[in-house]
């Protein structure tokens, strides 16, 4: 699985901590981690939580990523922006129990985490434990197990609801504020990571045209 990491501007100084915690768990499980930044607080390309959501939509709908790990100060803004995108099902994860239940019940494709609120002593251990609960087991198995079937039905109904409520991603890209879009893809490693992994030529062509 390709896991994309996106860090919002207010928490960019913690990118290395977050990236190290994520790779230490995900890579031994056979996953790839693609770090889309921000890498430092001084990066020329600055990502707001709205851009986090837009970039998450681009990565997941193009197939450039299978799962996105993002966040902001509280995790709320990035979660809301992500869930505004078609095909994105993002949960707010604060502790390992959140991570486990989101994976087993909701089986979403993105999480948002608080990287300021409650980010204190041994925060990197909490990150590792959260990522382990997300990625060590097959998602969607249900909790409690006897409710797995109805949970699967409800996930399907949510996906149908999302599809009915949202435009496709290409339409979103064409209609969204183009300066916001340009900012979302301005990261120094975006092209290096995105184009070799994206599987949607229409999305590729539109973004290249910018």
For the chain, the residue count is 210
Residue of 210, 132, 201, 148 whose CA lies nearest to 178 = 210
Give the model's pLDDT for residue 116.
98
Residue 197 pLDDT class (50, 70, 90 cuts): very high
Structure confidence at residue 187 (pLDDT):
97
Question: Tokens 């992500």 correspond to what residue?
Answer: 82
Region 56-65: mean pLDDT is: 98
Sign of CA dihedral 171, 175, 180, 186: positive
How confident is the model at residue 28, as a pLDDT? 98
pLDDT recorded at residue 77: 98
Helices (H) and strands (E) in the chain, counts: 10, 5
* Per-residue tokens: 51: 């851009």
Rounded Cα distance, 127 and 194, in Å = 25
Tokens of 101: 């239940």
Q: Which candidate, 69, 60, 63, 55, places its Cα nearest to that of 22?
A: 69
The mean pLDDT value for 25-41 works out to 98
The pLDDT of residue 86: 98
pLDDT tens-digit series, residues 85-142: 999 999 999 999 999 999 999 999 999 999 999 999 999 999 999 999 999 999 999 9
In this prediction, residue 184 carries a pLDDT of: 98
The edge-to-edge listing of strands for the beta sheet with 2-5 is: 32-35, 2-5, 67-72, 110-114, 90-92
pLDDT tens readout for residues 149-194: 999 999 999 999 999 999 999 999 999 999 999 999 999 999 999 9
Q: Which domains does the chain have, with CATH numbers?
A: 2-209 (3.40.1400.10)
- pLDDT bin (cut points 50, 70, 90) of residue 9 is very high
Section 142-149 average pLDDT: 96
What is the C-alpha to C-alpha distance for residues 108 and 93, in angstroms, rounded to an integer?
12
The pLDDT value recorded for residue 81 is 98
Give the integer Cα–Cα distance in Å for 196 and 184.
Answer: 18
- Per-residue DSSP letters for 141-168? --SSGGGHHHHHHHHHHHHHHHHHHS--
pLDDT band at 58 (very low <50, low <70, confident <90, very high): very high
Q: Which of 95, 68, 63 is nearest to 79 (CA)?
A: 68
């Amino acid at each position: 699985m390709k896991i994309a990491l996106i860090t919002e501007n207010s928490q960019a100084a913690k990118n290395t901590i977050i990236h190290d915690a994520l790779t230490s768990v995900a890579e031994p499980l056979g996953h790839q981690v693609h770090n889309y930044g921000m890498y430092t607080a001084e990066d020329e390309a600055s990502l707001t939580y709205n851009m986090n959501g837009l970039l998450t939509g681009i990565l997941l709908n193009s197939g450039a990523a299978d799962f996105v790990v993002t966040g902001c100060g509280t995790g709320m803004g990035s979660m809301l922006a992500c869930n505004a995108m078609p095909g994105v099902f993002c949960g707010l994860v604060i502790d390992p129990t959140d991570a486990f239940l989101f994976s087993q019940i909701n089986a979403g494709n993105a999480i948002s985490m608080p990287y300021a609120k409650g980010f204190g002593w041994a925060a990197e251990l909490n990150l590792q434990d959260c990522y382990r609960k997300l990625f060590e087991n097959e998602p969607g198995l249900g909790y409690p197990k006897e409710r797995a079937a109805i949970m699967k039905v409800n996930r399907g109904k949510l996906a149908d609801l999302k599809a009915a409520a949202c435009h496709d991603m290409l339409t979103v890209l064409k209609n969204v504020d183009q300066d916001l879009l340009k900012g979302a893809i301005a990261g120094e490693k975006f092209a290096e990571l995105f184009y070799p992994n994206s599987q949607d030529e229409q999305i590729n062509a539109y973004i290249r045209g910018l």
